[in-house]
Structure 1
Amino acid sequence: MRTGGKIVAALLAGVALGAPALATTLQEAFIQTYNSSPALNAARAQLRATDEGVPIAKAESRLQASSTLGLSQNTNGIARLNNGGRTLTAQLNLSYPLFQGGRVKNAINAAESRVAGGRADLRTTEGNIFTQVVAAYMDVIRDASIVDLNKKNVDVLNTNLKASRDRFQVGDLTRTDVAQSEARLSLARSQLVTAQGNLTGSRENFRRVIGIWPETLAPPPALPPLPATPDQAVETALSNSPAIQAAGAITQAAGFDVRAARAQRLPTLAAVGGTNYNNYLGTINQVSGGFGGDNSQGSNSAGIALTVPLYQGGLVGARVRQAQAVQNQAAEQGIDVERQVIANTRAAFASYRAAAEAITANQQAVSANELALEGVRAENRVGTRTVLEVLNAEQELLNAQVDLVSAQHDQYVAGFALLNAMGEAEARDLGLDGGSLYDPTANYNHVRRWIGDWSDQPQYTPRGTRTSGPTPEAPDVAPYDPDKTVTPRSQ
């Protein structure tokens, strides 16, 4: 049973999370990516190229027509062109295949199987790209939260340093205590700069994947219900994974290729016909040696041509063996793809569960560290705890808060990766409302019956958005202003 359809309600539930009115939502990021991703548009173009394999295969079963037009000048010597006869010739040749040993039928079936595999590959690409969107989206939220936590930590340590200096002035603390506060503030500033760099990198990756610069991101909506056990997840993946379906289609196409190669050993039968026209352009006397005659002659012909291959130098046998080897390769790759899907599904399930347990543990750690910090500060005020112990308690709280943010990020990304592994993270599962979805069958239905040699596609204009140009300013990642803090110095 598909659970991905429940994502629609989950995405809409993001409105109730208290996000700013102008914030970019995860659904908007999906829509932006779906409409402007160059990787996704390239995959669609690749599928359109695969669609053309069907009319290419069908062309071998249709009437073939060719014509030849020639003009020749017979000479009695290079310097006496005017004494030779001239001949204008025109030929029209027609051939219609009646029997080709099943070669064309199997080629068409192989092409149609590859189209089915191409559609499954497009689904795989969609799911993988949307998983990248979720990861990029959550990376920005995580790193922005870590920057905020580090800013608050710098502010707290700055306040601590001021208090330490004041207490040092009245003789309540030693120079060592002040130096420890200064060192910890410098370390916090370094951590803040590192966090700001990580956030900038995440924002650049967001722009690469989604095509726009992230300003303010709304909290992500809740994920839909996920399987309770890894076995349930694997069962869904095996029945629904587009990667497995694509591998099966390619294996089937390879089987048709083997049959098409074997058909080259069989006779072929074709109906043939044509017409010939010769015009001597008034020079029939020179051509016939002076006996005269009609200057124009024509003839028509029609019949059946049977071609029986007797020996082709081992070519057909080599092609059959080659096609069989490709078929073996496709079969083995299908098993490998199945292994990958199972491994990815179980790994995503394990990561999701581990992150969920880590969230619980880190929430407890944050609560405990908050309580411990409050106690250490109180004990420091009465002289039973040192400044270093207060600094360590503050650092432990910061570490627990960062770990909690990271675990929340990891759980959401792993949950969506699990949906993707099960084949439930495609556009049809996400309820995108940014316009009609791309129909992979539209181009196929349009070209599969084309018979004209002059039917080109219109000039293509890339739909992928470019990300060149200056980077927008992001106030929350601006370099930390040292003028707003006390510069550490020894007393």
Structure 2
Amino acid sequence: MRRARMIRQASLRAGTVAACIAVALTAVTGRCPGEEQPAASPVLAETITLGEAMAHAINHNPQLAAAVAGVAGAEAAVSAASASGRPTFTLQGGAQAQSPIQQINIQLPGFERSVAITTPESARASLNVTWPLWTGGRVSAATAVSRAQADAAEGDLQQATEQLLYLVAASYYGVLSAQQRLAAADAGVTAAAETLRTVSRARSAGTATGADVANAEAGLKRAEQEAVAARNSLDNARARLALHMGLGPAQSVSPISDAVDIKQPAGDDEAVEIALRTRPELIALGYRIDSARAAVELARADRNPTLAAVGAYQIQTPTDVQASHSEFIGVQFSWPVFSHPRSDANQRQAGAAVEQLSHTLNDLERTIAVQVAEARRALDDARASVAASEQASLAATQVHRRAQAAYAAGTLTRQELTGAEAALAEAQARHQQALYGLSIAAVTYARALGVLRQTFLAPSEEASRP
């Protein structure tokens, strides 16, 4: 319960996070996370930074636009619920022609008179007013239900934003990683082709067998197949990035090598506490519990009587027995005395929803704790992978330098030098892929904490709703 209260009290629009969380976006543009990001340009550049990709996605992704529309609809429902407690004014009117004229004869001592009840042509207009004086708590309960649902819809919007930022970042680094894979594959094709040429010359000189040539040809085909697969992987990664950014099928962009890092909280307990305070899906679920509780009160209010002031003012075509205008004012009372069975059923339904959502909230809290721990371990693994790949890249660099010196001295063949170059290209590509994997792990950890919005978007200037 303590966590649930903490979640419900958290602001959906807060633009800051706990001081112990510091996430830095190291971009080519030099922008810091706290700085306001510029609006996306109508014409997207061919090469983009991560911040620009996210800004474009925020402005053009259709799923996020749908979530924004959902918030607008929920806010309109709040206005509709509260409007039922305000006075209503109804203007009515009509005109008619009839024949024959209805009249009656009035006989009095000494004379007789005909009195017209209708006229050949008549018109009327009236203004009716209903002013609720007491609704038995219905309006306040219905407004509370709609208000909580609107807050939950805003939480859904924040969750959609958080997920979109994660998908854009993951696909962004996916493109960069696929580019490195393609570069390594192309180097492998070059090395395999050189091997085939060397073996073919050796075969002509009688120092290699046909099997050696066949093996070299097979190696080249494998390298070419790997290059084709790497190129397809790059195309797929670019398509995913374009999809999340809201680009058209024919549009494509090339990411610039940005790096993301995150300062970890002191421990898992602190990280989980931050996640429970900032994860938007948890906040939205807390508001849905509030909505279900308000629905219980609304069901109870259905038993209560209502009291309203009513009145009308009407003008019409006068007759001998009808004036040119009339008005009335009164009080209307209504009490649904036989609606208790329906009210009880609605209460049970809303109460069951509260219990169901409370269990879901508890399960989500536990799931988030696991996600935070997993993301932290993955981040540690990614850092270790970067360190290992860096060592491998340095070793491959040393081997390549020695190979160049030996080739210049005439003690190393061209095939062996090409192999060293391919090994260096692969080691460097793996190191770059490890760096991009570290960025993805950092973004995943930020997603587990629920701080991607505060990291990549400008802080909201709206006041926090209590």
**TM-score, normalisation: structure 1:** 0.72
Task: Indicate if the aligned counterparts of 1:133 and 1:209 stay in contact, CA closer than 8 A.
Answer: yes
Alignment of 1:127-138 (within 5 A): 127-138=162-173
Q: Quote the residue 2:456 is aligned against.
A: 430
- Among 92, 117, 122, the alignment partner of 1:68 is 92
Partner of 2:180: 145
Q: CA deviation at 1:311?
A: 0.6
Query: Aligned equivalents of 1:85 and 1:52: distance in 2?
Result: 47
Give the one of 306, 316, 320 matched to 2:333: 306
Q: Measure how far apart 1:49 and its partner are.
A: 1.2
Q: Does the CA contact (< 8 Å) of 1:54 and 1:108 recur in 2?
A: yes
> Are 1:250 and 2:288 an aligned pair?
yes
The change in CA–CA distance for 1:230 and 1:171 in structure 2 (over 3 A counts) is farther
Letter aligned with residue 359 of structure 2: E
SS of the residue corresponding to residue 131 of structure 2 reads strand
The answer to whether structure 1 residue 100 and structure 2 residue 168 are counterparts is no
Structure 1 position 358 matched with structure 2 position 385: yes
Match of 1:34 in 2: 58
CA contact (8 A) 2:260 2:442 kept: no
Q: Which residue of 2 aligns with 1:230?
A: 268
1:217 alignment partner, one of 239, 252, 255: 255
The answer as to whether partners of 1:270 and 1:304 remain within 8 angstroms in 2 is: yes
Task: Tell me how far apart the structure 2 counterparts of residues 26 and 73 of structure 1 sit (CA, whole Å).
Answer: 74
Report if aligned partners of 2:21, 2:265 keep a CA contact under 8 Å in 1. Answer: no
Q: Secondary structure at the match of 1:61?
A: coil
Whether the 8 Å contact between 1:4 and 1:425 is mirrored in structure 2 is no
The CA deviation at 1:64 is 1.2
CA distance in 2, matches of 1:301, 1:84: 22
**CA-to-aligned-CA distance 1:458-488 (integer Å, 9 cap, x gap):** xxxxxxxxxxxxxxxxxxxxxxxxxxxxxxx
Any conservation in 2 of the 1:4–1:430 contact (CA below 8 Å)?
no
Structure-1 separation of matches of 2:125 and 2:256: 74
Asked whether the 8 Å contact 1:271–1:305 carries over to 2, the reply is yes
Q: Are 2:24 and 1:24 aligned?
A: no
CA distance in 1, matches of 2:433, 2:392: 14
* Distance apart, 1:232 and its partner CA: 3.1
Q: 1:2 to 1:209 in 2, by over 3 A?
A: farther
- Which amino acid letter does the alignment assign opposite residue 7 of structure 1? A
Q: Name the Cα RMSD after superposition.
A: 3.9
Give me the identity figure in percent. 25
TM-superposed CA distance for 1:98, in Å, is 1.1
Q: CA deviation at 1:222?
A: 3.6
Q: 1:184·1:391 contact (CA, 8 Å) conserved in 2? A: no
In structure 2, what is the equivalent of residue 169 of structure 1?
A: 204
Report SS of the residue matched to 1:42.
Answer: helix
Q: 1:14 to 1:159 in 2, by over 3 A?
A: farther
Counterpart residue type for residue 94 of structure 1:
V
Aligned equivalent of 1:7, options 4, 24, 37: 24
Q: CA deviation at 1:203?
A: 0.9
Q: Structure 1: 5+ residue runs without aligned partners?
A: 16-20, 77-82, 285-292, 380-387, 445-491
In the alignment, which residue of structure 1 is the partner of 2:9?
A: none
Structure 1 residue 51 corresponds to structure 2 residue 80: no
Provide the C-alpha distance between the structure 1 equivalents of 2:214 and 2:267, rounded to a whole number of angstroms: 53
Q: Which runs of 5+ in 2 are unaligned?
A: 1-17, 33-44, 101-116, 407-414
Could you tell me which of 255, 262, 273 is aligned with 2:311? Answer: 273
**Whole-angstrom CA distance in 2 between matches of 1:306 and 1:405:** 76
Question: Does the Cα contact within 8 Å between 1:7 and 1:431 map onto a contact in 2?
Answer: no
Structure 1 counterpart of 2:365, from 329, 333, 338: 338
C-alpha distance after superposition, 1:9-41 (max 9, x if no partner)? 6675489xxxxx984211111222222222222
Separation (CA, whole Å) in 2 of partners of 1:88 and 1:319: 47
Structure 1 residues 94, 147: closer, same or farther in 2, change over 3 A?
Answer: same
Local SS of the residue matching 1:266: coil
Matches within 5 A, 1:359-438: 359-365=386-392, 403-426=430-453, 428-430=454-456
> 1:165 & 1:68 partners in 2: Cα distance?
99
Alpha-carbon offset, residue 275 of structure 1: 2.8
Closer, same or farther: CA 400–363 of 1 in aligned 2, 3 Å: same
The alpha-carbon distance between structure 1 residues 195 and 440, as it changes in their structure 2 partners (threshold 3 A), is farther
Give the distance between the partners of 2:308 and 2:463, measured in 1 at CA. Answer: 33
State how far apart, in whole Å, the 1-side matches of 2:230 and 2:422 are.
15
